[in-house]
Structure 1
Amino acid sequence: MARMLILSCKNLRIIVKDDVIEIHYAFKKPPGRPVGADVIAVDKGYTEAFVDSDGDTHGMGLGKIMTEYSGKASKTAKARNKLHALEKKHREAGHTAKADRIKTNNLGTKKINARKNKAQKRIRNIAFKAAHSVVDKASLVISEDLSRPIAKKKPQKKYNRKMSAWAKGTLAEALESTTQQAKARNVLVNAAYTSQMDSNTHLLEGKRVGDKFHCANGDVLQADFNAALNLRHRYFDHEITLYTPHREVRRILLARSSGATMRQGA
């Protein structure tokens, strides 16, 4: 059981957690390294942390870590559910000693917590390295606002499980913290339909298939790169603000399209 001791007179915090002692103290953070001069937009991805509007990727390997962790976590959870059922069966049958052994030796959380902490640290490491790589290029970073859930967005259960670690905001935190430290700007824009728009026309044209976007003129772009270009354009779009509802965004985009149909909007 974790115990915490706070020494307020020294601005010091000592945390004793099992056999590990952590010492936390406050200090003034020094200025960050110089930033770039460009204005770029970044789309948060899964395989990589970010894809910018220049087509460069930052934080490769992020998806591999999350896929590996989520697969192991899912396999462990399924096995633990079977052991929970077995433990309950023996306890109800009066085999208390055997039920206790199953619970003590097979249903602990130490290894699970250690695996989770390791994965989170690896994800955080990649996220912050990717954010620094972005800020090295730009003094103004435009990114999507994913603090609110996308309406009617129902990803597959397996996909949702893999994205759970990413959805906690590690990438958003890394980008915001890094830009603040480097005295750059991180501007959030409305992300509605930026993945479904053709970055050549900025209209609801073309079609996204997996990680590729097929433009109306026949060009095939990487889907996150296409979205990053749309995010950059969205920053200069004064008609669509950060808080414009997604239905209103669709209405505006359809109104800009000559001969647009509801099927294109969908």
Structure 2
Amino acid sequence: MGTTSSGMPRLRSLAAAILKARNARRAKLRSIANQAVRRGEDAKAERIRRNNLGTVKKHRQETRWRTRVRDVTYRAVNAVVDKAHVIVAEDLTRPFTSRARLGKNTNRRLAAWTKGITARALQDVSDRRGSAVRLVNPAYTSQAIPGTPSLGRRAGDRLHCPHEGRVVWQADHAAAINILDRDADPDIGLHTPHTRVKQIIQERDRHRSRLPDQDSNTPRHCRCGERMIQTYGQQ
């Protein structure tokens, strides 16, 4: 059985950074062209628009990028299917929802998230090669400490254990394990609301906290769980 987590972090971060830099350069040139128009330098403004603000190169780069993302995604999914007859993946069909204002940089990164092609690749490759795909609820998979009923403290791509501050997970690594575990979770279904998922996790944590600690002396072992924790950077 295999597990896939959400997207390709390095690739989507690169996409967001490239898009930000490109749009900043185009915005600067557009501002120069507008200033030239205000000064009556129409010929200069036209040269900038014709040579620097066209869309032919932009569309060509976007097509090349989409092709690269598709190739990397399908290679990754095929590599998973090589080792697994059953693939457990988070449901990538749900839209992003948030009450908080996330800011331009966060929205840009979310827009670059290639979850649509990832979901399509999982279905296409599994259908062609005879593997099964089981979708699970993704709520809090990157915030829960694997093998435990505890929510950690997320800081960027690091997930800190609430009971052992020095124990740190890489968030995507933790999410992959939690996604695999969630396939066997009888209480959290595919369509369980995220608020209810959080409530279930917190209720389990409160129940665990009332049990005696049976293994608190093992080094680098999370006191609230049964799995060895890999320190960030040592994976």
TM range (shorter): 0.7 to 0.9
1:155–1:133 CA distance, 2 compared to 1 (3 A): farther
* 1:29-68 superposed matches below 5 A: 39-47=1-9, 63=10, 65-68=11-14
User: Hey, what does 1:229 align to over in structure 2?
Assistant: 177
- Comparing both structures, which one devotes a greater share of its residues to helix? 2
User: Hey, what does 1:116 align to over in structure 2?
Assistant: 62
* Kept after mapping to 1: 8 A contact 2:4/2:89: yes
User: Hey, what does 2:40 align to over in structure 1?
Assistant: 94
TM-score norm. by structure 2 comes to: 0.75
Tell me the distance in 2 between the aligned counterparts of 1:86 and 1:216: 51
User: Hey, what does 2:18 align to over in structure 1?
Assistant: 72
User: Hey, what does 1:29 align to over in structure 2?
Assistant: none
* Kept after mapping to 2: 8 A contact 1:254/1:260: no
Cα displacement (A) at 1:161: 2.5
Instruction: Tell me the SS of whatever aligns to 2:178.
Output: helix
Which 4+ residue blocks in structure 1 deviate beyond 6 angstroms? none
Instruction: Tell me the SS of whatever aligns to 1:166.
Output: coil
Instruction: Tell me the SS of whatever aligns to 1:85.
Output: helix
Tell me the distance in 2 between the aligned counterparts of 1:209 and 1:130: 27
Tell me the distance in 2 between the aligned counterparts of 1:188 and 1:74: 33
Pairwise CA RMSD: 2.7
The residue type paired with residue 199 of structure 1 is P
1:184–1:82 CA distance, 2 compared to 1 (3 A): same
Cα displacement (A) at 1:190: 0.5
The residue type paired with residue 91 of structure 2 is D
Instruction: Tell me the SS of whatever aligns to 1:188.
Output: strand
Equivalent of residue 166 in structure 1, options 113, 116, 123: 113
Tell me the distance in 1 between the aligned counterparts of 2:73 and 2:26: 31
Unaligned runs of 5+ in 2: 210-235
1:205–1:77 CA distance, 2 compared to 1 (3 A): closer
User: Hey, what does 1:141 align to over in structure 2?
Assistant: 87
Note if 1:183 corresponds to 2:145: no
* Kept after mapping to 2: 8 A contact 1:120/1:165: no
TM-score norm. by structure 1 comes to: 0.67
The residue type paired with residue 195 of structure 2 is R
Tell me the distance in 1 between the aligned counterparts of 2:29 and 2:161: 51
Instruction: Tell me the SS of whatever aligns to 1:133.
Output: helix
Cα displacement (A) at 1:159: 4.5
Tell me the distance in 1 between the aligned counterparts of 2:101 and 2:125: 31
Tell me the distance in 2 between the aligned counterparts of 1:154 and 1:230: 27
- Identity between Structure 1 and Structure 2 (%): 33
Instruction: Tell me the SS of whatever aligns to 2:200.
Output: helix
User: Hey, what does 2:220 align to over in structure 1?
Assistant: none
Number of matched pairs: 206
Cα displacement (A) at 1:111: 1.8
The residue type paired with residue 205 of structure 2 is S
Deviations 1:234-259 (A, max 9, x none): 11122211111111111222222226
Cα displacement (A) at 1:90: 2.7
Cα displacement (A) at 1:75: 2.2
Unaligned runs of 5+ in 1: 1-38, 48-62, 262-266
